[in-house]
Structure 1
Amino acid sequence: MAGGLGRRARTPEEMMINMMALAAGDHPGHRSWAPPSPGAPRDVFIACWGKSGTTMMQQMFHQIRMAAATGAGDMDFDDISRMTPWEDTALVLDLDMTADQRAQPRGFKSHREYERLPAGHRYVVTLRDPKECYVSFYRFFDGWHIERGALSMEHFWPLYMSGGPGGCDYFTHLLSWWARRDAADSLVASYRWAAKNRRAMIVRLAGFIGASLDPAQVDLVEQMTSREFMHAHKDRFDDAMMCAVMEAKLGIPADSDSTKVQATGSDAATLPPTIADRIDALWAERVAPATGHPDFASLSAELDAR
């Protein structure tokens, strides 16, 4: 018998009912994250905020370490988040966060700010315009966790501010990682720069995690992280594990287009003016005084010039 609502949610409150039902019950295979074995490389946390390049960076990280270890890429998986697990959904998915990974270093997904991640490791973050994030976040949930069309973009605000499972609001996340932009243990870039300059980002990330790639291997990773390649393999980036659990526990068919790799990017111009004004007000209140940047374009220009 299905738990929760037995259907997709129609409001943020209903979505919480379904999420609590997903977390209920026994999880015999679950193990929380634990530090790597003595002598092993420090872990890498891919800690972008939701819809800010997490999936691209998971794929880039995994293909870099596989190319360095084996000389080849690796698409032999059902879900990229099985290759780089996420602590905040591991209980629901009954995942063992301590299980061996296919290559070193170990990698993990997160949407958290620095202060709530294990200290002493390495952190990869791409930052994205908050308005683009809003549109992309809405597109992702509409028709998957939320019944398509049931929630307007205006009424999506509470989910945007929640940051997703285990996350934080966009502004807390951005300020946390902006403060880490010069830290040796953190690789911080803008999402747009990383997407447009993938080859340069691959070289930077490979050096950051201590992976040695020859030019042909860089070519391979560049090809495997293109929008075209990832969209052609979008079933590896569609939260297949979560879809299966939702079907088993909630009775929601795993037939929605939950892929995180869309054929086209999200356009901030489609954001309702009332939501754009809210985001601008929070930027002026919280981000501008701390960074000196009046908007994301100014902030990302500083990052991109580094």
Structure 2
Amino acid sequence: MTGLGRRARNLEELGINMGALHASAPQVHYRPLEPQPGDVFITSWAKSGTTLMQQMFHQIRMVAATGAGDMDFDDISRMTPWEDTAMMVDLDMKMPQRAAPRGFKSHQAYENLPAGGRYIVTLRDPKETYVSFFRFFDGWHIERGSMSLEEFWPLWLGGGPGGCDYFTHLLSWYARRDAPDTLLASYRWAAKNRAAMIARMAAFLGLELDAEQAALVEEMTSREFMHAHHDRFDDGMICRAMEERLGIPDDADSTKVQAVGSDAGVIPPAIAAQIDAMWAQRVLPVTGHPDFANLAATLED
């Protein structure tokens, strides 16, 4: 199967390119994940804080182990590998990691992950994820300007790699908000209260940081620091695979760390109404929370 040799201009073409990318994976280095007790899965939904949590996790464990932070990598997802794309980028999921505990990226619900692990999850307003997801794909997987926010709906609804939709993910993890193996927070709270989130995560991991070490992690997880090092957070491994196997130049701004956050206010009214209707149908009856802000407030005490 061959791709288009260019970025997709619609969802059908995106499927062709992604299918070709998977089909042409060389599998020289790839070995599947073999879970171990105590593994940590950073498993926020797409565009809900995964990259920030990956960086925070990696810097906490490196500072605890070595006394110093670590930016000596090309892609944060090499430090915390992602099983759903590991075959695509020919990545060995069993490779040694630089410090304990082992950590892995995911966007999955609890039921789809190995049992016996520990789970770090941030939740985000669905309308913010919609806009952020669109911004991420526009100009990278999708030719810039070729798809409208309205046309993006099926891609958001499908949930990206792994196929876990937003509402399944949210309900799965909200149900585990008090489980000792789960650290759950809202993305907005974690981003605005990084010092508190760092303290929570370090305690969750059983790692100790002194005040100076915690301040270093806080600095290295700021938007300004991560944006200055945006090439470490741009899915570089996938970009290179797209260039090598699909002929799509590795010249897009695929960074996940934008200088300015996504504004849910730009979402088309028809899309906002569909998201509200799905929340009322799926989330409200289970949680009693009429919207995300109401639900998030219960996690921010």
State whether TM-score is above 0.5.
yes
- Is 2:30 aligned against 1:30? yes
User: Shift of the alpha carbon at 1:30?
Assistant: 0.6
Q: Which amino acid aligns with 2:229?
A: H
Once the two structures are superposed, what CA deviation does each residue of 1:8-31 show, in whole Å capped at 9, x if it has no partner? 011112111111111113312111
Q: Which residue of the partner structure matches residue 143 of structure 1?
A: 139
Cα shift at 1:285: 0.3
Counterpart for residue 204 of structure 2:
208
In structure 2, the residue corresponding to 1:246 is in which secondary structure? Answer: helix
TM-score w.r.t. the length of structure 2 is 0.98
Q: How far apart, in 2, do the equivalents of 1:47 and 1:167 lie? A: 13
Shift of 1:175: 0.3
Aligned-residue CA RMSD in angstroms? 0.9
Number of residue pairs the alignment of both structures matches: 300
1:186-216: per-residue Cα shift (whole Å, max 9, x none)? 0000000000000000000001011111110
Where has structure 1 moved over 4 Å in runs of 4 or more?
none
| Cα shift at 1:277 | 0.2
Task: Write the deviation string for residues 266-306 of structure 1: whole angstroms up to 9, x where unpaired.
Answer: 0000000000000000000000000000000100011112x
Structure-2 separation of matches of 1:83 and 1:168: 23
Residues 219-256 of structure 1: per-residue CA shift (max 9 Å, x gap): 00000000000000000000111100000011000000
Percent identity among equivalent residues?
A: 71
Partner of 1:260: 256
Residue 278 of structure 1 corresponds to 274
Distance 1:168 1:207 in 2: 29
Which residue in 2 is equivalent to 1:239? Answer: 235
Contact 1:7–1:251 (Cα < 8 Å) also in 2:
yes
Distance 1:35 1:113 in 2: 16
- Range that drifts further, 158-167 or 250-259: 158-167
Match of 1:229 among 225, 235, 240: 225
Matched, 1:73 2:69: yes
Q: Distance in 2 between matches of 1:12 and 1:277?
A: 22
Counterpart CA distance in 2 for 1:3 and 1:220 is: 46
- Counterpart of 1:174 in structure 2 is 170
- 288-297 vs 165-174, which deviates more? 165-174
Residue 63 of structure 1, aligned match among 59, 63, 66 = 59
- Which deviations, in whole Å up to 9, do the C-alpha atoms of 1:106-138 show, x marking residues without a partner? 000000000000001000000000000000000
3-state DSSP class of the match of 1:202? helix
Give the distance between the partners of 1:186 and 1:14, measured in 2 at CA.
Answer: 38
2:152 aligned counterpart, secondary structure:
helix
Task: State which drifts further: 254-263 or 12-21.
Answer: 12-21
Q: Give the superposition deviation at 1:167.
A: 3.6
- Matched position secondary structure for 2:6: coil
Three-state SS of the structure 1 residue aligned to 2:185 is: strand
SS at match of 1:155: coil
Matched, 1:11 2:28: no
Following the alignment from structure 2 to structure 1, what is the Cα–Cα distance between the partners of residues 215 and 108? Answer: 31
Separation of aligned partners in 2, 1:272 and 1:258 = 23
Asked if the contact 1:135/1:271 (under 8 Å) is kept, the reply is: yes
The amino acid across from 1:111 in the alignment is H
Superposition deviation, residue 3 in structure 1: 2.9
Letter paired with 2:9: R
C-alpha deviation, 1:35, in angstroms: 2.1
Instruction: Name the residue aligned to 1:190.
Output: 186
Change (3 A) 1:167 1:65: farther
Question: Where do 5+ consecutive residues of structure 2 fail to align?
Answer: none
Q: Distance in 2 between matches of 1:81 and 1:284?
A: 35
Matches within 5 A, 1:108-119: 108-119=104-115
Gaps of 5+ in 1: none
Aligned counterparts of 1:96 and 1:210: Cα–Cα separation in 2: 26
Conserved 8 A contact 1:134-1:160: yes
- Are 2:116 and 1:120 aligned? yes
